[in-house]
Amino acid sequence: MNPIIVLGSGLAGYTVVRELRKLNKGIPITLVSRDSGDYYPKPMLSNAFAQNKDAASLVLTRAADMAKQLNINLLAETEVHAIDRIGKQLDTTAGMLAYDKLVLALGADPIRIPLQGDAAHEVMSVNDLADYARLRVALGAAKSIVIMGGGLIGCEFANDLATAGYAVSVIDPGSYPLASLMPEQAGKQLLQPLADLGVTWRFGTSVQRMDKAAKGYALTLADGSTMQTDLVLSAVGLRPRIQLAHDSGIAVNRGIAVNECLCSSDESIYALGDCAEIEGRVQPFVLPIMHAGRALARVLNGEATKVQFPAMPVVVKIPAHPVAVSPVARDAVGTWQEMASGQGVKMGFIDALNNLTGFVLTGEYAGERNEMAKRLAV
C-alpha cells in the first residue's frame, strides 16, 4: 500500500499527521519538507526578538524526534518538482515517490513589492526559521528599522523591535494600522501606545526606491520624501503557494481550491493551511488550520467529514495595546458599532439581520474575547 504523503512541515502539515495518528496507528505516512522539518511555532517569529530568543531556541521538537513520535517517514530538505496525477507519484529531489493520497500543506510566500534602486534586493522578510535567523544577524549592526506594512505582522514586529530598543518606522499606504482586520476607530487605538515605545508611523505612502547609502539605505517614498534606515523589513502580506498545484492541473484561485472536505479538484489530493482556499476563503490563522487538520485527518481515515469553523478570535501579539478580533469577510453586509470605550474599544459587527457576526477588542477589553466569541451568531 502506498503511503499518504503530506507536503509541508508547518502547523498544517504536522497537525493533520498528528491527528491522523490518533485515529490510525498503522497507516503509512510520509512527510516531505523543503526545510529541516523541525517543528516550531511560526507565530513566535514576530515577537521573539525582544525575548532574546534565537532561531534554535524556537524549535520545540527536532525533525528526527517528530518522525519517531509520529511513526512517519520524514524526508527533509527535499524539493518537489512535479505531481504526476495519472501515475499518483511525485517527482522530487529524493526520487519518485508514489502516493495513495496527497496532502498539500505548502504554506505561503511573502508578497514582494517591486522596488527600484540598487539595494531593492536587500529587503528582508520573515516567513520561516531561516529567515528569522538571518534577521537576527542583520539586526546586530542596526539601530533603525523601516517596516513596510502596518498589518498584523508589521504591527507585531514593530512592537517587538521597538521594545528591544530599535528606532522603528512603519510605512503603509492605508490610513491606520490593521486596516484589513478592523474599523478605523479601533485601528487608530494602536497609534499612541506604539508611538510611546518609539514607533513612527507614515501612512498614505509607500517605499518606491531603496538605494545603498554610506551607512545603511536611502529610501524614496511615493510622496517624494526620503529617509535613511539601517534595515528594511517587508511585512505586506503572504501569497498562497499554488504553483505546484497549478502546474499539475489542479483547480486554483487565490489558493488551492478545496471543498468543505478539504478535497481539491483531484479526488486523491487535499489541501489545508495557508495554501488552501476552503469554499472560497483563505483562512491563514492558527485556529482555522487546526480545525481543518482535525477534519482532514478523519477524511483521510475514511470517515465522511466536513470541516466546520466555530468562532475563532485572532489574538494580535501587541503587548503595548492588546488586540483580539473575530474578522468578518470583506464583502460582509452590516455595520461596526461601538459597544464600549475607555483604554481601548469594544466593537461589534452587526449584520442585516441584527446578528453579531464579528468583533474587535483592544486595550482593556482584549481579555473579553472568549465571552464575545460565545455571543457570535453561528
What pLDDT score does 377 carry?
63
180 contacts 151 by C-beta, under 8 angstroms: yes
Q: Flag whether 305 is in a domain.
A: no
* Domain match, 220 and 123 both: yes
CATH number of the domain bearing residue 60: 3.50.50.60
What pLDDT score does 334 carry?
94
Q: Flag whether 283 is in a domain.
A: yes
What pLDDT score does 19 carry?
98
Q: Flag whether 172 is in a domain.
A: yes
Domain hosting 159: range is 112-234
List of the chain residues with pLDDT < 70: 377-378
- Give the total number of structural domains in the chain: 3
Q: Count helices and strands (H / E) in the chain.
A: 10, 24
Would you give the end-to-end CA distance of the chain in angstroms?
Answer: 41
Q: Flag whether 176 is in a domain.
A: yes
What pLDDT score does 158 carry?
97
* Domain match, 125 and 220 both: yes
What pLDDT score does 284 carry?
84
DSSP element (H, E) containing 277: strand 276-278
Q: Flag whether 316 is in a domain.
A: no
What pLDDT score does 369 carry?
93
* Cα–Cα dist 75/90, whole Å: 13
What pLDDT score does 332 carry?
86
* Domain match, 102 and 118 both: no
155 contacts 176 by C-beta, under 8 angstroms: no
CATH number of the domain bearing residue 362: 3.30.390.120
* Domain match, 170 and 225 both: yes
What pLDDT score does 187 carry?
95
What pLDDT score does 329 carry?
81
How many Cα atoms within 13 Å fall on the side-chain side of residue 203? 14
Q: Flag whether 352 is in a domain.
A: yes
* Domain match, 136 and 204 both: yes
Q: Flag whether 315 is in a domain.
A: no
- The sign one gets for the Cα dihedral 109, 35, 210, 45 is positive
Which residue intervals of the chain are DSSP H helices? 11-23, 55-58, 63-70, 129-139, 152-163, 184-187, 191-197, 243-247, 286-300, 369-375
349 contacts 334 by C-beta, under 8 angstroms: yes
